[in-house]
Amino acid sequence: AQTVTQSQPEMSVQEAETVTLSCTYDTSESDYYLFWYKQPPSRQMILVIRQEAYKQQNATENRFSVNFQKAAKSFSLKISDSQLGDAAMYFCAYRTANTGNQFYFGTGTSLTVIP
Amino acid sequence: DAGITQSPRHKVTETGTPVTLRCHQTENHRYMYWYRQDPGHGLRLIHYSYGVKDTDKGEVSDGYSVSRSKTEDFLLTLESATSSQTSVYFCAITDRWNTGELFFGEGSRLTVL
């Protein structure tokens, strides 16, 4: 089975600064999807950004961008101009592109935003 | 927002009692999943379904069973609840031919005393 590793259990960032959350994964597949989900205290899981493995261009959604390094199996999330509302647990996820459609999640990074 | 409803949202029960959590979707998505979320473990897959009456085990399926008799409903049953099954349970859905992401329900917090 694929594994997803988030090596930073907790991170903090000053408001308006930039922070990068790390994620690595292990797979033998060439085609797959990667995601970052945000879970605020409300507990709702919210999609932040997605990346298709066949795309070389890094995905960007407003203040959120990724650094996708396929050969290194790395998928980091950069949050620019951090806001208080960015404080949450962030989960990295991997989805197989073949049959089964299974998703694998990392253990999460808790992000604190300091005013 | 994806139409996913979990019930109950909160439940306290005693060891040894049966518990059923329900997930209802209005999106007609083929794939449905049950995850549990525990501190330090992230989300772990319990069972998933790829169609009516088609289900398979995930990485933490022991002590759990599921059923899917209709596209819109996916039930998770704990036949005899144990304290180790105290957790937050999430239902999720996806459509293989759509955006590829998982859509989550609001979660159900289960406490087994």
Query: How far apart are the C-alpha atoms of B29 and A47, rounded to whole Å?
Result: 17
Closest Cβ opposite residue B100 in set A6, A33, A45 = A33
Q: Residue B98: its pLDDT value, please?
A: 55
Q: Are B100 and A50 within 8 A, CB to CB?
A: yes
Q: Which residues of B fall within a CB distance of 8 Å from A103? A: 33, 45, 92, 94, 102
Per-residue pLDDT at B16 exceeds 70: yes
Q: Residue B97: its pLDDT value, please?
A: 61
Q: Can you tell me the mean pLDDT for B89-111?
A: 88
Nearest Cα of chain A lies from the Cα of B104 at a distance, in angstroms, of 6
Q: Which residues of A fall within a CB distance of 8 Å from B107? A: 43-44
Sort A28 into a burial class: Cβ within 10 Å, 0-12 / 13-18 / 19+. exposed
Of the two residues B48 and A100, the one the predictor is more confident about is B48
Q: Residue A102: its pLDDT value, please?
A: 82
Query: How far apart are the C-alpha atoms of B70 and B80, rounded to whole Å?
Result: 25
Q: Residue A99: its pLDDT value, please?
A: 61
How many cross-chain Cβ pairs, A to B, lie less than 8 Å apart? 54
Chain A residues within 8 A (CB-CB) of chain B? 1, 6, 9, 33, 35, 37, 43-45, 47, 50, 52, 91, 93, 95, 100-108
Strands B87-94 and B103-104: antiparallel
Return the beta strands (E) in B1-113 as ranges.
4-7, 10-13, 19-25, 31-38, 42-51, 54-57, 64-70, 73-78, 87-94, 103-104, 108-112
Per-residue pLDDT at A61 exceeds 80: yes
Q: Residue A31: its pLDDT value, please?
A: 86
Q: Are A100 and B104 within 8 A, CB to CB?
A: no
Selected for mutation to probe chain A from B50, B90, B102 (highest A CB count within 10 Å) is: B102
Closest Cβ opposite residue B104 in set A45, A102, A108 = A45
CA nearest to A10 within chain B: B40
User: pLDDT tier at A50 (50, 70, 90 boundaries)?
Assistant: very high
Q: What would the pLDDT profile of A71-109 be if each residue is shown by its tens digit?
A: 999 999 999 999 999 999 999 999 987 766 788 999 999
Q: Residue B100: its pLDDT value, please?
A: 79
Strands A88-96 and A32-39: antiparallel
Q: Residue A68: its pLDDT value, please?
A: 96
User: pLDDT tier at B83 (50, 70, 90 boundaries)?
Assistant: very high
